[in-house]
Amino acid sequence: MRDTPWGAARFAYAYLDTVVAGLATALVAVIAYPVAVTPICRSDTRGYCASILTGFVVALVFVAALFVVAHLMNLGWQWAAWVVVLALVLIQIVVEANTPSVAWCALAIPAGAAGLSFRRPDAEIARWMRFIRLAALVVLVVQFAIWLIILMASPS
């Protein structure tokens, strides 16, 4: 079994993983939009159906690509989970603050996830610390889901 990269290599692998997942997602997006437009969303004249369907597929592909490439680069599923959660938090901040200029913080997401999921190869993480990390992931995802439901239910 390979050791997980640590130190500066972990941050480099994190950004490389994100770029590779982004490239895979871009390839799928180029294929998914025409497929979504043609048979499924034929009756939608405004294009909302195709945009929403393509966005959903692209988001799922990006998450799947993050996990697959993280496994191949031995960053671990925790790293990919933290990338997803930090991206959800950033989306919520951008929407709530109504300032798209905050979106440049997305550049820090892979490094933040690399720091949050770090484990030295020669040290074991305490069980209580694992539980806290997992609980934080679950709480942030549930909070984002509740926020999204409230946002969608509120009148525009």
Quote the tokens at residue 102. 């905050």
The set of residues, in sequence order, having a beta carbon less than 8 Å from that of 129 and lying 6+ positions away, is none
Global confidence as pTM: 0.79
The set of residues, in sequence order, having a beta carbon less than 8 Å from that of 72 and lying 6+ positions away, is none
Quote the tokens at residue 80. 């990919």
Please say if the pLDDT value at position 50 is more than 80: no
Asked which of 85-99, 101-115, 119-133 is least confident by mean pLDDT, the reply is 119-133
Please say if the pLDDT value at position 1 is more than 60: no
Provide the pLDDT for residue 96: 85
What's the one-letter identity of residue 3? D
Q: Where are the domains of the chain?
A: 8-153
